[in-house]
Structure 1
């Protein structure tokens, strides 16, 4: 019997978001989206384009400019059996909804002793690099990774975006799904047309290597891979691990990679202090100390508010800065 071939599409990351939403909304009538301009306008980045015409105003809901109300309403929907996917236009706008997410969504299962769950996915474009004004470029994934009861997911490829989003929607507990808008339309990738999932909590080794393990996620995956290829010409063999999920972290992959190389660097665009690079370094100290050959290098954003246009490229870890950090660890 012939093997059935999976049909693929060549999509951008933001198109993969839309495809994931469309797939789950078609499969499960309990899935709905809500947020500012997600309906007729298709969202500020057009991630929900066409869904209003396909599923109607009862399942694609335009809301007032009120993030606390958007998420609070979605929590009520989730508690009573629906699967809402609220969109926050930019991560920098999520702060009014922070109380709803951490005080209610994250705690509903334990507060009700399992009587209620909260199958909620809060989507938000995040990160810098698009020359946006204040509050449009935040990378505050560590806020939510710190909160028990929440899962935090950040894809870096179109394929993973659709698969992780479907996994998040099907999860019985709340997920904060952060989409790196710098790479929304930066490249395309093959995405199956069919329904599929990518497991939450599993990292992906994007490049095998033996000299140093470099851990990253989101938009920083591409410059990290480019830096690794440049360094390969100089004889430095980098292993690049795309974590994909900030909570729960894939501790096993982190530790196994580090045991192989004995050196590590972490690349993220969030500020260094309190960032997840510190947590990754701590995992290495706790579980693989005797394999360590050098301090863990953190290549991150600076401990300042995200700057406006002229300094944006300086703030974000560039290929050159990633290379320098990796060299520091390898040459220690």
Structure 2
């Protein structure tokens, strides 16, 4: 049977979260963002689960798009970073992919390419994120150039919010103002701005397409609101087994660096998971874990293949018991806060040696 460390993926919870995103999108349509191997949940399984729900998918790379096509996904697939090499343009044509063109060199490559068919593209407009995209002042000229390229079908414009996860900021309103001005000038094009956080900003326009990502997987996109408060359901349950139990005596230390010492007799358990599986090494003593219907906490440093827990609150725990590292009882965002990171990183960081087990 081997080591029973597993990531259980609830596909019905995934679909529930997508439907919630679509409700928040209103009259706009939601394209499912499944990049980074479906945020660590398994690209093909996630896409197939949403195949009857989503009418468009979005990924970060050509390799991810090719995997979706090989898995039988027929919907339009948006390449959020576009293509990285001019030779990839023909692949976009042959697989009916929709690259997002964000830079002058990409536009020139398309102008100089022999397409061999029709290429649908989006243009990225930089309204304040300042990573990728054309300046709003250049939008008219770039749109005109794209429309002159034979074989190119300009679908629409995209932008990306920088601060939508914070309800108290003003950047999102500024970005919406710039993007809305373009939308009024080009009513024949589609517009897309909202990431997951944008779905929960009631005053933000939804335009034509939203792009839910992390919310699909049951983690919060908002700074001060939990996934449960937003109505989201946990999709991944990361589970391992208790492999050993011992009682530490006062003065006994645990793990590398002896960073934690017992001040009184303390029942300690060892759990078969560590940073080699994607559990954060920097999770400190006191990070919550669930076993036998109660919360317990970690002790000392996380090792590559195991971690220690304080079993004082779970006196009936025995080797072989299931341990939830995150899931319905311990939200991944709570673990992330203890570890000084975000739920995105933990979900996408679960390594390949942890089997994904899917259920409906």
**TM-score scaled by structure 1?**
0.28
Please identify the structure whose Cα radius of gyration is greater: 2
**TM-score scaled by structure 2?**
0.27
Q: When you count helix as a share of all residues, which structure comes out higher?
A: 1
